């Protein structure tokens, strides 16, 4: 089984609701008729695969992908006012549940939350998890500049911990973005830095220790976590502040509580992540259908790895199947 855990879909119901709800998002169209979703500092071109689930399923059939864990992506609902964010999250999660119900085992959606309103996020998490039975939840690496380690989000983590929840961290408009306005450096560099920052703060703040039953997924191979993890451990040994909330080196938490998706199609980084976290903590991801995503490159890279076939089977789908409860 091949399971792609990192890919994105904008439900038609979500797109249709933006203008009537008074969203801050501006939508235009390119010469091919594709919607362009504009938000501060960036925009996404929504090609057919982003918004037509029937077409997407034909792509999966052609590429041999059995299941996708679909999620909404940037700009997310947190850039809206709280009432609009809550409405859009509800619309998105209902649409995701409909897609799953209509198309059986092909899609395992990750819930969207109105993260600008922590109390509403808890309520929507409980609805999406307990009622809609969505497979997991996607969070953004910061919420309008507020880190995920902030205590305002702890009630959400408490609810997720009680349910052995799976929380995926996807980057968004990074902290310090003013230095990344040229050459597409925001998505090329900033996204990876912000994921790294989010994971580091979740560990050092004690959130991961406090809520040990949560399993976290880091997008884009963990940002730079596999590369920098040893430096985090040095900080733990050198600085009292880095030991204030945890009683093990950061790498202990990063290996035990985090998964890393393969949206990095280069052999060196993939091998480094496997060496760091173990093959059992690596999940196939394509970033389909973004311009810099690719299902063929994902499969090519994973099939070329010098690992055992048992490990390859796990990375291609077995690990995600167990984590997300996919049948």
Domain boundaries, the chain: 3-324
| CA–CA dist 160, 111 (Å, integer) | 12
Digit-coded pLDDT (tens) for 198-207: 999 999 999 9
Residue 41: pLDDT band with limits 50, 70, 90: low
- In CATH terms, the fold of domain 3-324 is TIM Barrel (3.20.20)
| CA–CA dist 176, 193 (Å, integer) | 10
| CA–CA dist 63, 15 (Å, integer) | 27
Q: How far is CA 318 from CA 1, 32, 189, 265, 282, in A?
A: 7, 38, 30, 19, 10
In this predicted structure, the answer to whether residue 173 has a pLDDT above a threshold of 90 is: no
Kindly state the average pLDDT of the residues 121-132. 98
| CA–CA dist 198, 79 (Å, integer) | 18
With a threshold of 0.75, does the pTM exceed it? Answer: yes
DSSP 3-state assignment of 42? strand
Cβ of 33: how many Cβ atoms within 10 Å? 7
Digit-coded pLDDT (tens) for 182-198: 888 888 888 899 999 99
| Cβ–Cβ < 8 Å for 186, 174 | yes
Residue 181: pLDDT band with limits 50, 70, 90: confident
């Amino acid at each position: 089984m091949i399971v792609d855990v990192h890919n994105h879909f904008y439900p038609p119901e979500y797109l249709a609701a933006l203008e009537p709800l008074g969203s801050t998002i501006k939508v235009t169209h390119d010469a091919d008729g594709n919607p362009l979703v504009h938000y501060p500092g960036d925009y996404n071109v929504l090609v057919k695969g982003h918004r037509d689930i029937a077409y997407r399923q034909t792509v999966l059939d052609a590429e041999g992908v059995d299941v996708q864990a679909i999620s909404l992506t940037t700009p997310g609902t947190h850039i809206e006012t709280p009432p609009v964010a809550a409405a859009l999250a509800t619309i998105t999660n209902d649409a995701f549940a409909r897609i799953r119900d209509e198309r059986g085992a092909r899609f395992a959606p990750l819930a969207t939350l109105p993260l600008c309103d922590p109390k509403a996020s808890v309520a929507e998490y409980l609805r999406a998890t307990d009622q809609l039975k969505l497979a997991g939840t996607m969070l953004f690496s910061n919420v309008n500049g507020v880190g995920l380690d902030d205590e305002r989000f702890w009630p959400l983590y408490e609810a997720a911990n009680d349910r052995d929840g799976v929380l995926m961290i996807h980057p968004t408009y990074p902290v310090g973005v003013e230095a990344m306005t040229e050459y597409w450096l925001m998505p090329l560099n900033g996204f990876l830095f912000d994921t790294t920052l989010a994971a580091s703060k979740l560990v050092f703040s004690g959130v991961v220790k406090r809520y040990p039953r949560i399993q976290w997924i880091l997008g884009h191979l963990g940002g730079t976590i596999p590369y920098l993890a040893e430096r985090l451990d040095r900080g733990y040994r050198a600085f009292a502040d880095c030991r204030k909330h945890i009683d093990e080196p950061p790498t202990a938490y990063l290996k035990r509580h985090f998964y890393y998706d393969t949206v990095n199609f280069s052999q060196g980084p993939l091998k480094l992540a496997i060496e760091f976290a173990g093959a059992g903590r690596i999940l196939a991801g394509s970033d389909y259908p973004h311009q810099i995503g690719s299902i063929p490159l994902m499969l090519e890279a994973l099939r070329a790895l010098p690992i055992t076939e048992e490990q390859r089977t796990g990375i291609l789908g077995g690990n995600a199947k167990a984590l997300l409860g996919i049948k």
